[in-house]
Structure 1
């Protein structure tokens, strides 16, 4: 049984920006056109991620170039459709693959809100204020500044609220997480697992998961072994333990998938690229009903779009 997939995070645009990789079929990409088709992916999020060590000028140029690569993906593959609004998800036809932009860290904004408006026009539908580093908007996981979300970050959240854009809590320092929970109307964790199953700073504590549930905020599990077992090795059964845990806390209706393909250097056997999503589907069907699995794979996300 093939069940459609909506994947909330991949870093394919970073690879396209860094080299002349062929998106159609390159084996260097976990997420390419042929693998999206093989995996029955109905919608794929493409993150704009910028190396925080670049100069301010290089950061914004890298962001623009990643958008250009995204636009080329759409124009060169007629079955791929740019999803610019939440209503566009309703218009997808069988056989089409929706593609939408997200931002993983607003470093390239450099404190200038005009960039928010530019990238909103490009079709960005979800924004994480920062990656692991501190920036003008918020503290990431590795920040020692103890600021949480800054005034600039609050301005971004307000724009997200007004325009019904998700604010992504993945990668945030805990203080930033709680600030977002207080200020944002539309919250998502695009690729995060459960701390109680794997004690890693990238994962969500039970307190955070319960807060996400109270806010009706989607949580998408990530395929990286380090965030699943704390080591370089993990199985699909290990990943399902995180799903089980979130379900046990009452979050079954909010669980989705956020592979982090092309952003991870270790893989789950049988789940090494986007063409293998259905292997996870088959494993999930051993533990959950078809209705539950459809929820995890795509329906839960569609049920919680910012409308």
Structure 2
């Protein structure tokens, strides 16, 4: 077994729950119509996968009912038949260093489905969601997304959401958030946040990628930045290969972000793929590529340990009177 095959991987973003909700006949175990399957996670050495609750593919207005539907799918198809364990608490993060098991963690991509109701946010937390991406690409009740031309910050209700997240232990994700919202959150939040699936704007000009100033702010707060495998975020023109990600890695490291870098593939949220990174089973080959250019301790950090260290510090603790459902 080569060095790369022994390295564990944490992937901080995929959209397979949305596909499973839209097409209930799909089989999470090993359906080739999905990017992310239990079989491919095992083949790629993925020890932690973050599953986004993404409602853009749901017909009609995003609703809390659809959020609950994807949580139910996660419990039934991912944890049940897929054989993953559910990561929710700081105490459980200690177990991430063990091999096996494999773990799944829930995030919400865009708070539209919470319908402006912080009680729904609390229910999500109680049901095991641990990250909130404030927006998708456009405006919602909390803030503006990155493609909203006015580039607004947070609404009054959105500011209440920030306060609630800081007090409850829900962690925040700025991928898709407009720049004005990013900087407002950096000022208002008492806790570090992440960009789960964003790349470097200085390397590839796309509005979803982060400026050097944003990356430096994430580094300064010891947040995390998950490089993503969306081809048009990796290379101008979108004809990208796995090697093209090295320029993004080098740039983040040049800004001082070696310990803040991780990966968030966006598998099942894309309809074109980086050559050599078509699904999570390719992570072992990607690790081999990284090991040709970088020291093993850095590669381990980017693939897994940087994500693990953030979770072990910032996931909420399980209080004695809390019962894990």
What TM-score results when the alignment is normalised by the length of structure 1?
0.96
Partner of residue 248 from structure 1, selected from 237, 246, 254:
254
Offset of residue 219 of structure 1 = 0.6
Could you tell me whether the CA contact under 8 Å between 2:125 and 2:170 is conserved in 1? no
Render the CA deviation track for 1:83-134: whole Å, top value 9, x for unaligned.
1123212124312110010010000111111110110011111111110010
Partner of 2:115: 110
Offset of residue 165 of structure 1 = 2.6
Render the CA deviation track for 1:116-174: whole Å, top value 9, x for unaligned.
01100111111111100100000001213443111221222212212333211100111
**Post-superposition, which runs of at least 4 consecutive aligned residues in structure 1 deviate over 6 A?**
none
Partner of residue 59 from structure 1, selected from 39, 56, 63:
63
Say yes or no: does 1:75 pair with 2:61. no
Could you tell me whether the CA contact under 8 Å between 2:18 and 2:57 is conserved in 1? no
* Partner Cα distance (2:146, 2:180) in 1: 10
Partner of 1:14: 18
Could you tell me whether the CA contact under 8 Å between 1:52 and 1:107 is conserved in 2? no
Partner of residue 29 from structure 1, selected from 34, 37, 41:
34
Say yes or no: does 1:164 pair with 2:172. no
Q: How many residues align?
A: 305
Partner of residue 234 from structure 2, selected from 228, 231, 234:
228
Map 1:104-183 → 2, pairs under 5 A: 104-183=109-188
Could you tell me whether the CA contact under 8 Å between 1:132 and 1:172 is conserved in 2? yes
Offset of residue 297 of structure 1 = 0.4
Instruction: Structure 2: state its 5+ residue gaps.
Output: 316-325
Could you tell me whether the CA contact under 8 Å between 2:145 and 2:151 is conserved in 1? no
Could you tell me whether the CA contact under 8 Å between 1:194 and 1:203 is conserved in 2? yes
* Partner Cα distance (2:234, 2:90) in 1: 30
* Partner Cα distance (1:146, 1:294) in 2: 36
* Partner Cα distance (2:283, 2:154) in 1: 35
Could you tell me whether the CA contact under 8 Å between 1:103 and 1:124 is conserved in 2? yes
* Partner Cα distance (1:52, 1:277) in 2: 27
- SS across alignment from 1:45: strand
Instruction: Structure 1: state its 5+ residue gaps.
Output: none
Offset of residue 60 of structure 1 = 2.0
Could you tell me whether the CA contact under 8 Å between 1:164 and 1:186 is conserved in 2? no
